[in-house]
A and B are shown apart, each in its own frame.
Chain A
Amino acid sequence: MHIRLNNVSVRFPIYDAKQRSFKQTVLNVATGGRILESSRGPAQVEALKDISLDIKEGDRVALLGHNGSGKTTLLRVLAGVYAPVQGTISVRGKVTSLLDSMLGMDGDATGFENIKLRALFLGIKPNEINRLVDDIVEFSELGDFLNLPVRAYSSGMVLRLAFAISTSVRPEILLMDEWISVGDERFRQKAAERLESFVNDAGILVMATHDMELANKICDKVVRLEHGRIVEAPESIVPRQMDAVS
């Protein structure tokens, strides 16, 4: 199980950005990746530049950086959603991505239907879902509400369900965008314990966060991103090319 990135760059074409002067203005703002000038073709935002990472089994990596520094884009690259424009990526292991804990929730479908729907996207086959349903029912404590459409739930109840489903699998490589927080004082303790064991079971964890304290508590390695580049990282996971940082 590993994740290896070699000089990965990601650029987004912005097809509707027409105003060149506007591009000039935002060229040097504090947030976001770099906006590239090109004489022909659409404007491009350079979301990630020359990212090299070598993450091994057992690593707990926190991605830090302000809004638009490329954390989510990097997670999406790791999830296989964005193929790098340059560089190579090799991911070995089954990836579970919790970039959006609400993935696949359908307001008009019942709780049970949503469990099945979401499970598909977590990579669980229909014949394996039944094993998980009991666990999800018990943990979410939603009881008969699971027979009602999700739109009848309070927002806290939807979160509970989403949380219970997302954490019901045993992940190999777990990608998280922000720590999932589940309201309700009484439920929070239970959720925190479950999330910790869930995260501990993962072979590799990569988590994006703003919270330095949380990063130090959960993770053992911190990678700091700025303008789509790695500006700070332990030697063990960024083996070389640290000189690329200016």
Chain B
Amino acid sequence: MFLVNLSEAIVDITAAFRDRYFWTALGWQDIRTRYRRSALGPLWITISTAVTVAAMGPLYGALFARSPGEFIPHLALGLIFWAFMSGSINEFCDAFSGSTHYLKQVKLPLTIFVLRVIYRQFIILGHNILIYPVVMVLLGKSVNLNIFWAIPGLLLVSVNLLWIGLVVAIFCTRYRDMHPVVGSVMSLMFFITPIVWQVDQLPPGRAHLADLNPLTILLELMRQPILGGVPAPMYWAVAAIAAVAGSVFAVALLARFRHRVAYWL
């Protein structure tokens, strides 16, 4: 019986990837709906992030006594990629319950609704990243060839988000208290992840503590290549192992509970 469920869970995921048109259409529609009646449309995403960077950059740069050329790129990319990860994780909570009227009527792969969230956040990331070239010009920064490492970095982060998404969405559908819990955890994580602060500000004996936070690793896989560095091999290894182990767990969870999700809605 478990084997049948397992193969159905794998079909759920492969079918979702085969029917890409489904979640890309839904993801775009979500963005269109969100900004339909605003004059600037999705540019609001860009503007609000730009304002945050412009306000926090000089302030925290001065507080931490860092030069703007070093600190602001770190902060801007940190905020942009953090928005991608935390936005996804927060919205995974509603991935199924927000689509109740679909899921109660048609049988669809559940993975579609997780991918829809990631895709939606990916579009937002695309709008936010437009800020960075402006930051570069203003501060006279440049990028080097290491920027191409950002592509496998983003890919690895997305794979991790997919399994996190399946797990979070299933849990939040069954236990409705999980949604505020996830929200609180993510706002706490904002402070203990080096988004605003930098790891080298920690006393040397404690710098390794930052690496215990998996979100630090995922963030650096996307940020460091754009800042001109190459993420440490240890980061790649940890993220890859997390992707494999997490996917195994998510598939097992999906196999066990996929049939029950409709009952919980």
Separation in Å of the A13 CB from the closest CB of chain B?
Answer: 7
Contacts of B22 in A (CB 8 A): 120
A117 in contact with B29 (CB, 8 Å): yes
**A83 CB–B CB distance under 8 Å:** yes
B29 in contact with A83 (CB, 8 Å): no
Interface string of A121-144 (1 = CB under 8 A from B): 101011000000000000000000
B105 in contact with A81 (CB, 8 Å): yes
The answer to whether residues A76 and B33 also contact, given A117-B25, A120-B22, A120-B26 and a CB cut-off of 8 A, is no
Q: Give the docked Cα–Cα distance between A12 and B263 (Å).
A: 6
Checking A81, A104, A106, A120 against B104 with a beta-carbon cut-off of 8 angstroms, the contacting residue is A81
In the complex formed, the residue of A with least CB distance to B30 is A106
Q: Give the docked Cα–Cα distance between A95 and B106 (Å).
A: 9
B106 in contact with A81 (CB, 8 Å): yes
**A187 CB–B CB distance under 8 Å:** no
Interface string of A165-203 (1 = CB under 8 A from B): 000000000000000000000000000000000000000
Contacts of A100 in B (CB 8 A): 101, 105
**B44 CB–A CB distance under 8 Å:** no
Checking A103, A116, A123 against B102 with a beta-carbon cut-off of 8 angstroms, the contacting residue is A103
B103 in contact with A81 (CB, 8 Å): yes
Separation in Å of the A103 CB from the closest CB of chain B?
Answer: 6
Separation in Å of the A34 CB from the closest CB of chain B?
Answer: 17
Contacts of B104 in A (CB 8 A): 76, 81, 99
A79 in contact with B29 (CB, 8 Å): no
Q: Give the docked Cα–Cα distance between A128 and B72 (Å).
A: 48
A81 in contact with B262 (CB, 8 Å): yes
**A113 CB–B CB distance under 8 Å:** yes
**A52 CB–B CB distance under 8 Å:** no
B106 in contact with A79 (CB, 8 Å): yes
The answer to whether residues A13 and B263 also contact, given A106-B33, A109-B29, A120-B25 and a CB cut-off of 8 A, is yes
Contacts of A79 in B (CB 8 A): 105-107
Q: Give the docked Cα–Cα distance between A137 and B104 (Å).
A: 28
B101 in contact with A113 (CB, 8 Å): no
A125 in contact with B21 (CB, 8 Å): yes
Checking B25, B105, B262 against A126 with a beta-carbon cut-off of 8 angstroms, the contacting residue is B25
The answer to whether residues A126 and B32 also contact, given A81-B104, A100-B105, A104-B102 and a CB cut-off of 8 A, is no
Q: Give the docked Cα–Cα distance between A27 and B21 (Å).
A: 47
**B36 CB–A CB distance under 8 Å:** yes
Q: Which residues of B contact A (CB under 8 A)?
A: 21-22, 25-26, 29, 32-33, 36-37, 101-108, 259, 262-264
Q: Which residues of A contact B (CB under 8 A)?
A: 12-13, 76, 79-83, 95, 97, 99-100, 103-104, 106, 108-109, 113, 116-117, 120-121, 123, 125-126, 149
Additional pairs, 9, CB under 8 Å, beyond known A117-B26, A120-B26: A76-B262, A82-B262, A100-B105, A104-B102, A106-B29, A109-B32, A117-B25, A117-B29, A121-B102
The 8 closest A-B pairs by CB, nearest first: A80-B107, A83-B259, A99-B105, A108-B36, A81-B262, A126-B21, A108-B33, A82-B262
